[in-house]
Structure 1
């Protein structure tokens, strides 16, 4: 649907039309106005075109289901809040998945009973705590390498550390992370 013939109608007027007759075409016109802005916002947070497009679709669905429930006065501000929250939720979900991958990686390397570790709800919490306890250089390099999947070269360019330093920080950080995680897991078993 081309919104050109509705360009003279403000967001507030379109909202009023929607609230008066519940016709979703008014929401469609509003969403069409902000599609590029939404995509830009999602790209800013997610940094992946496919994920950003998917997120825009999820935002559209959320708007269609949530807008009838509330009296929204400032559509653009409300839409921005919905979009930002959707991006943050997607990033949180991604972080949990990446922490799980890192935990599995550490578990395999140490020949732990992988199932027992993954079943333990506290493992992810302990891993986050252990990551925070690393020194700044190790924490940064481990996070960029394992969680953000950057190469040694990318990390070197981003941080200003030499390739040897990056490799060293990752190796030492991974070893220290394992030790801290083991310590936390053993302390938890003792309690």
Structure 2
């Protein structure tokens, strides 16, 4: 007698496994679990560009609706990096739509992340001395987001919790299951790797 193997619960699957299964089956619950894992980062990106927070929250929901379609059509090899870029581009489209709508839509303001301590000299070097240079700042912010997405998952998660969600060491340990020593290690290594990625000069590796 043969028994049909029950599919694994989505919470037990990695990002890659969830993405692969969603592309194969179209099961939105799998995509929902995958997106929820990265939602704090997506919301933080949206808040950099969109105000008030309600607009950022709307953008987070709109992005999920877009992913339902686009991830069935396009193969994605690095989901965190792809999601960062997709969220950023969605917000920029919203800002450009506001600009076209005229002054009554309110001022267009880009909110850069308060993460100077994360990259040490890295983000200061990227942002430069001219905050009015919108095009250059967009490119630098994208570099920062992609560098963060390229970190090992434990380092990226700890940095996001510490700098984007303002969690203390104990709260990060509770959220991730890591002990305090490992949390501090992931933060230290993540900051060093992020700085090295943003500024690949020999001095940055020290």
TM-score interval for Structure 1 and Structure 2 normalised by the shorter chain: 0.3 to 0.5
TM-score norm. by structure 2 comes to 0.44
Q: Which has the higher helix share?
A: 1
TM-score norm. by structure 1 comes to 0.48
Which fold has the larger relative contact order, with Cα–Cα distance below 8 Å and residues 6 or more apart in sequence?
Answer: 2
